[in-house]
Structures are given as C-alpha cells and as structure tokens.
Structure 1
C-alpha cells in the first residue's frame, strides 16, 4: 500500500514538472520571469497552477492587436513630419532643455509615436480633494466630449459624485465615454454605470471584460489614469477614483499622490491614447476620426505655456519597455541629482545598475517609498531593494505622513516625469501605463520643492537600520525578492 501511494506521488510530481515546463515555455517570457514561474510551479504542485491562472496568463493576440494599430489615427504620418522637423535642429532659447534631451525625445518619437508638444500649461496637483474639485469643475464646463479612463473607479462617495456628474453631462448631450479596469475596480458592479449608458453615455471595462470574477488575470491590467475634456484639458498621474485616494480611509490615512493638469497640445497624446484604448475595447462603436489639429477631438491649442512634453504609453502590447527606457535615459543623463518617488520599488537589473552607477559616480540619488504596505509581498520586495539601494549610497526615505502613491522622477532640476508607472516589473512589462515626460526647468524645480517638503515628513533609512532588522523580516524580504519578476 505504501509503495502504491509512493508511486502515485511520484507520478503526480513528474506530471507536475512536465505541466510546469509546458505551461511556462508555451508563451514567450524573459529569463527572470521564466525561472520565477518554474519556482512557483515546481514547489507548489497543483496550487502553483491556480496561482498561474490568476497571475501568469498573457492576453490573447486578438486583444493586443487593436492596441497596436496606431496607423488608424494616421499617427505615423504625424510622427514622420515631426522627425523631419527635429532633424532641422531649430531650437529657441526656451527649448534649451529639449535640445539637451534631443536623443531622449527622438527615442520616444521612434518607439511610441510620442510627438513632442510645446508651449503647454502644466499644473502639479498633490492632493486628492484639490484634484477632483478641479476635474469636476472642468467637467461641468464641457461642451463636446468627456473621456475618462481609470484603473480604479469605486462605488463610494467620490465615485458616485463622478458618475452623477457624467450622467448630468450625458443628459445635456455631451459625449461621455468611460473605461475602467474590472480588477482594479473590484467591488464596483457593471450596473454602476447603467443609468449613464441609458442616458447616451458609454462606459465599459477595459478590453470588454465583464467582471473580475470572469477575468482571472492579475496581470495585464489597465493601470492608466486619463481624463480628457473637449480635447483641450487633460489629466494624468497616479490618483484613482475612490474615497481612500482622498484620505478618507483610516488604514492609509493621508493619501499623497501626484497628478498633472495639462492645457495645450500635450492633451493630444492623452486623447490619442484614450481613443486607441477605446477602439480596442468597443469594436462596434469605434472612434474613427484621424489625428488632425483643428478636428473635434484634437482642437487647435490656444494657450501659450512654457512646458514641452511627450505622452508615453507602455504595456504588454509593446515590444519595447518604453517608460522603463525613458527612466534609464533620465538616470544615465543625470549629472547632479536623481530624485524618485514610487509606492513600489522592484526594479530590474538594468534600472538597479543605473541607480548604483549614478550614486557611485557622485550623483545625488534619492528614493522615497511608503512606510507601510498595501500589498504584503510587494512591500517586502520593495524593502529588500531599498536595502540594496542604501548599500550603494542611495538615500532611501520612508514617507511617514500616510501613504505615498506618487510615481515621479526629476533629474538635475531640468527634466521630469509623472504618470501611472511605478518603479517595478509590473509597470515595466505587465500593465498598461502612461506617463508625461517633461522638458521644463520650472516644472522640475516645482517637483523638487514638493520632494523637499515630503522629506520633512519622512525618515532616512540607513544601512545600519536595515541590518538591524529581524532575521525573519530579512527572510520575508529575500523570499519576496525571488518572486519580484511576477509580483
């Protein structure tokens, strides 16, 4: 009897190994993710496959293809024209930062159809109440269309305020389109937008997924946060729609995030991104308008601000990790300082090496992360990498005044980025993200001032402090780090 049980276990283990190898290698992955999944599937027989069903499966190609079809908006023609303009190398004194970042600008134009937009007005918003007061005020003034895309839209006080306002505008005849992520908005029923749809608005989960219960994927989520109003005003950053993002939940306390309000041609990038996502989600009611300045969705920008920027998107539909590459370009370009804020710090080797190289070359490298977890494994992995950063002379700060969710980087007080992408594998490879990369000393200086104010509410973590952690905590951090490619 014992021998029979032993043989059955042996057969199960063999089948598990065969199944693990087949499951992992049937889809193309990088080496780190491949080994991480083999580790999970080998050492958690049966259970590992359940985890894989939730976390490991990729999106089918038929859903990714529409997201790649940028030619539908004639963006290829626009980009070719801009590339010719950039080659002329005609920069004014106000464009000096752009000129100094010319290679970075060209990289984005070649890889992401990300055109350079000049003369924008940009406002940095770090408080959720201020942000939504501003968004709601602009929505009330909308005349033609309102496009909204968020990872999270909760059925709570602020979520209902947004929905009711959108219903009011739909009743007025304004075009209202909403995209949300079914997993990020877990708990929000699809019927939440029933009345909006009845009034002529349109609200759908990203890529048409009916609910999180029928979409067993933790990866490949729409993590973008975009609002576009009449094609003239746009918002992008880290805030989602929910009471916790306004500091109304005791668990996190004050929610410290960073968002941008953009007025000018920079909105074109957000608008085109939304249209591509919308067309991939609703195949029957697509937006067919081509990119053309002066059209309904891309009106002529009338403002004359001072900020030049590029809107860069990233996701599993991309062959190149464009936002990560942008981060690398910024870090390698640094001569004085690299200041980073991110709720999660799980960089791959290329980013970690870039930060180490900068720090050991005399650059002032700082990283600010939360003092508390919102996801246990992710936070322990974040602590591990924070420890490694501290070993190389990088200043690591724990933000103590609530939860910091900002995703920002500012380099040398000249160039900066704000968006939805965290400093982790998930944002680099697995989720759909969008960031604004800005070439403006004034904006960079403002972000530095905000950073310095945040330091007043933070504590510097030294190598000695990390070394004094308990053996058990160090084990959890190291173990979580092994799973970092799939966290």
Structure 2
C-alpha cells in the first residue's frame, strides 16, 4: 500500500519533476558558462542554446563548449629543452632593446611584436635562416619528397589531415623505405582531421618501424570534452636541419584540385637555419603529449648549421593549453602598428571583436586594408558567416576580394612591406581559441615583398566586391549570413 501511495504521487507529479530537473540543468549549466568569464557573445549563444535545446545543448556544451585554456591540457614543465627555451627567451627580452637588433630595419620596426611573443609564448627570434616560399602543391610536395629522400637521421611529421590518396600513399611509401634503412620516423596526425584515414594505412607504417600517434584520439561513445580542441599544425622536420611549415595538408586536392572548388592553393615555407630548432621543439612537445616519450637528444633538437643568410623569423605556437591567445594577440599588435597597408589572405574569416575593430580602425585611419576571401568554400556555413562581415568591412573602407581561380587556402598577413606571417592559423575564432596552431612571423623586407607580389597576383585572379551591388544581394542570402553570424562564436 505504501509503495502504491508513493508511486501514485510520483506519477501524478512527473511533469513537475521533469520541469524541475530541466530548470536545474539549465540554470546550473548556464551559471557554469557565465562563471567562465569568456567572451560575452559566446556566453550568450551558449546560454540561448541551453535554454532552447536543453538536452542536446548540454551534450554539445560538454563536448564542444568548455574552456580549457586555464585548465592545462597537459603539463610541459618536465621537458628540459623547454626550460632552456625559457632561459633564452628571458635573455632575449633583455637583449632585444640593445643596439645589435636596431641594425636590421625590419626587426627594429617590429620590436613590439617580437617582445609580445617572447612574453606570451617564449617564441625566440632567430636571425640566421634561409627561406623558400612555395604556393602550389606541385612545388611543395616535390621539395618535401626530395628532402625525405635525403634524410639520414630523423623525419618528423605533424599534420591535421593526411589523406589516403596518391600523394598520401607516395609519402607513406617514402617513410616506410626510410624507416627500414634505420631513419627514425615519427608521425602525429589529428584524429578528427584525419578521420577517414584507414587503419591499414597506419598499420603499414607501424609495421615498418614508423612511430605513429593520433592527436587526442576520439572514440565513440567515449567522447571527451576535449574533442573540440584539434591539432591544426602542419610541420615536417628532417634531420633537425630542414623544416617545412604552413597551411597545406597532405592531400591530392593541392595537386589535382576537386570538382567543386577547382585547384587548391596554399603557402608553405621551407626553412634552414636557427628557426628549424624552434619547429623541432614544438614537435617535441606535441610528441611528448601524444606518446608520453622523451627520446630527443640535445643535438637532435639544436642541430648545428652553416646558414649565413639573414632572414629574421619568430616561430610561435598557440593552443588551448597556453596562458595567452598568442597568435590572436600577435595579429592584433601587427594590425594596430600598420601605417601604410595591410594585406590579408584567409580561407575562413570569422574574427573576434578585437581583430574586427582593429581592422576597421586601421582602414578608417587611412591604412590601405585589403582582404582576399574565397569566392566559394569547402564549408558552406562558415562561408556564410564569413560573408556576413563583408558589409562592415566595406563600410569602413576595407577592400574585399573574392578569389575566383580555385580555392585559396593560404593564411597570410602582410604589413607595410616589412612584416608577414605564414602558418596554419585562419583569421577566425577557432584558430584563436580552440585549435593548436603554428605561425612563422617574418621580419624581412625581401620575403615580405615576395609574399606581397604573389598577393597582388591573387588580386588579379579575384573579383573585388562592389559595395552598391553587395547591398543589393537577396534577402534570403542576407538571412543565411545573419543566421550563420549568430552562431559564429561557436565555429
């Protein structure tokens, strides 16, 4: 009787109980979101999602919404080589304002950015480097394959996407051959970016002696809240002497294009000299994270070289494991110091309020600001969101161009002919906050002007947006852009 009594009470009050559970879930999660003190726009979107879609919204927040910047994803304090970097960065912070750095105009003009990166990411300024710039898949992969063929000690690769296609398998066979000859081959691939990479592809590599690890492996249904934080870096270091970095993944689309977008273009740097050690250290840290192994000698990390040419470079990495959004801060600092022109090429443009305000302020102050965006994209929703910013840019006097001859996947910032950045980071919130990214800051007139020359070629292959015609686009298109813009803080 007593059981029936309580059972009847429970059933009769079930709607109220469900409502209370719903309210408790929404309020407690919303309080947690607000307590993180993140960007107000992002906070508002998450609270709205939690209210409108309480169960689905909670699941999405657990997997994609939590902020892990202050909760270190892994502890890098035990890596001795990083302690050496710490000491060197402190020394450079003292030396950076001495006379020897003022002899190089591009360095002297950018001391503020250099100091910023020394403070927020311990990114060392390196001077003795030789740099080649590649902007097509054909030249990039030819150089990569040639250098893999010459490897004698080690080959380290780290990529967001490795495709099981012609170039992917060509590189795989090269790595297998080198591993069988005794070369130490280590490979990191992002588990989400390389989602479609077959197990047999990995098995062939490991069977030949190649060490392979995924970055933050995602297993269903055992998803973790860190599934949202992906390794978007692209690095190759060979024998500690030659390195490649940029925005290009390992995929045929950079050689053959695809049916919808046509030819894919990107920018990659081949580097010899001091900066190679910085890329080696970044790989070391990521290798330690995925494998929990420290197998690097000092000679392997800081290989000697005979480079005498001077191209001043500063390699900086950013991710949710760091205290500062260093890449976003570097972009902001660079944009705000511009006096003549700012040239930007990015496939995805979803800036935060700081970057957007900095760009508009520069243009309104008389700086020539030009941005090349894709005419069509591989991500429809992100494309709509990017297009939602065009009206604001045009109103501020920024010239916007839509690339027509294929898909320009390059991520480049060029300022005043003496500063440039090349790397994996898009000018979007995901690259600023969620992804593990990598940039090379270039303080060199020759290299910057070579990049600017290519930028002007890209302008000729682009269609400049006419403000009057843009204002006349359909209400349907305007609505799609506005809706995508509303959720852009989550992309």
TM-score normalised by length of structure 1: 0.92
Contact 2:70 2:322 in 1 (8 A): no
Aligned to 2:185: 176
Contact 2:418 2:448 in 1 (8 A): yes
Aligned pair in 2 of structure 1 residues 472, 210: CA closer, same or farther (>3 Å)? closer
RMSD between aligned residues: 2.3
Aligned to 1:203: 212
> How far off is 1:334 after superposition?
0.8
Aligned to 1:375: 379
Aligned pair in 2 of structure 1 residues 277, 391: CA closer, same or farther (>3 Å)? same
Following the alignment from structure 2 to structure 1, what is the Cα–Cα distance between the partners of residues 332 and 287? 30
Q: Which moved more, 1:223-232 or 1:374-383?
A: 374-383
Following the alignment from structure 1 to structure 2, what is the Cα–Cα distance between the partners of residues 113 and 28? 26
CA deviation digits over 1:216-246, x for unaligned, max 9?
A: 6552100000010111111111100112232
Aligned to 2:8: none
Q: Which moved more, 1:116-125 or 1:27-36?
A: 27-36
How is 1:3-152 mapped onto 2 (pairs within 5 angstroms)? 10-11=19-20, 13-18=22-27, 20-21=29-30, 24-25=33-34, 29-57=38-66, 64-67=73-76, 72-73=81-82, 74-91=84-101, 93=103, 95-152=104-161
Aligned to 2:244: 235
Q: Which moved more, 1:193-202 or 1:70-79?
A: 70-79
1:247 maps onto 2:251 in alignment: no
> How far off is 1:416 after superposition?
0.3
Q: Secondary structure at the match of 2:229?
A: coil
Following the alignment from structure 2 to structure 1, what is the Cα–Cα distance between the partners of residues 59 and 289? 28
Following the alignment from structure 2 to structure 1, what is the Cα–Cα distance between the partners of residues 377 and 383? 5
CA deviation digits over 1:164-220, x for unaligned, max 9?
A: 11111100100100001010011113442223222222010014x265875465521
Following the alignment from structure 1 to structure 2, what is the Cα–Cα distance between the partners of residues 286 and 170? 19
1:485 corresponds to which of 447, 467, 489: 489
CA deviation digits over 1:28-70, x for unaligned, max 9?
A: 6333322221122212232223433442245598872334666
Following the alignment from structure 1 to structure 2, what is the Cα–Cα distance between the partners of residues 31 and 346? 16
Q: Which moved more, 1:319-328 or 1:371-380?
A: 371-380
1:397 corresponds to which of 377, 388, 401: 401
Contact 1:63 1:280 in 2 (8 A): no
Unaligned 5+ segments in structure 2 are: 1-11
Q: Which moved more, 1:188-197 or 1:441-450?
A: 188-197
Aligned residues: 478
Aligned pair in 2 of structure 1 residues 63, 108: CA closer, same or farther (>3 Å)? closer
Following the alignment from structure 1 to structure 2, what is the Cα–Cα distance between the partners of residues 247 and 238? 17
Aligned to 2:9: none
1:345 corresponds to which of 349, 357, 369: 349
1:219 maps onto 2:228 in alignment: yes
Following the alignment from structure 1 to structure 2, what is the Cα–Cα distance between the partners of residues 69 and 108? 22
Rg larger in structure? 2
Following the alignment from structure 1 to structure 2, what is the Cα–Cα distance between the partners of residues 463 and 218? 40
TM-score normalised by length of structure 2: 0.91
